[in-house]
Amino acid sequence: MPEDTNTAGHIGRVAAVLNGVAGLGGVSPVNPQAVTIYQQTSRGERAYDIFSRLLEDRIIFLGFTIDDAVANYVIAQLLFLEAEDPDKDINIYINSPGGSVTAGLAIYDTMQYVRPDITTICIGQAASMAAVLTAAGAKGKRFSLPYSRFLLHQLMGGVQGQAADIDIQAREIVRIGEMIDEILVKHTNQSLDVIRHDSDRDFFMGAYEAKEYGLIDEVLVRNPALPRA
């Protein structure tokens, strides 16, 4: 989608149309047309789905339970934005209860793989795998709004079948759990023993506690890009 560089021609009318959706809870990342943005430009009116409009400003919104479909959606956006400009930061806003660890690790690996710095901003909550992704942003560029919360905990998984299969699955859960612990050690100020102790049970933190812990770098009350009144 070509960018309109004639900013003087923008009339500035932006309308959000909710197509029968009460709030944003029913919006799917694979069907973002549920929210449409209309923007008047010098070339006429343009219509975007909300996620494509955010993508123009290099913003990815992770506001869903993390599964394979969501991971593929986020990864595609990361790769696209890297191709567009490998030297310009990518911003990921996170409000997620977590989800699939393997899907989350696919996002994590891509965040580390792409060349642009990744800025992460927690708005609402970053639980479980979402907390790991928030911490995985570039150092000095990991943020949270004041009333967000964070959750660390052990991996959860149920297995069934023959004894040998259960043993294989149990060992795999342990292996992945150790990987997550090592990632958190890498991105926080904490030792492996502290990470293992804290994630043994549900461990909740507010934004300022998360800063002290090393999950984020700063708590933002206001978008620093916006002028103060």
Give Cα 82 distance to the centre of its chain: 16
Residue 28 bears catalytic tag: no
In CATH terms, 58-219 corresponds, of 3.40.190.10, 2.50.20.20, 3.30.565.10, 3.90.226.10, to 3.90.226.10
Spell out a b/e string for 95-133, using b for 16 or more CB atoms within 10 Å of the CB, else e: bbebbbbebbbbbbebbeebebbbbbbbbbbbbbbbbbb
Active site residue 128: yes
Domain boundaries, the chain: 1-56, 58-219
Distance CA 19, CA 33 (A): 8
Determine which one of 96, 128, 148, 199 is catalytic.
Answer: 128
Q: pTM of the prediction?
A: 0.80
For the chain, the distance separating the N- and C-terminal CA atoms, rounded to the nearest angstrom, is 34
Rg, C-alpha atoms of the chain: 20
Neighbours of 176 (CB within 10 A): 15
For residue range 144-189, list pLDDT tens digits in order: 999 999 999 988 665 566 777 778 888 888 999 999 999 999 999 8
Q: Which of 42, 52, 153, 191 is catalytic?
A: 153
Asked if residue 130 has pLDDT above 60, the reply is yes
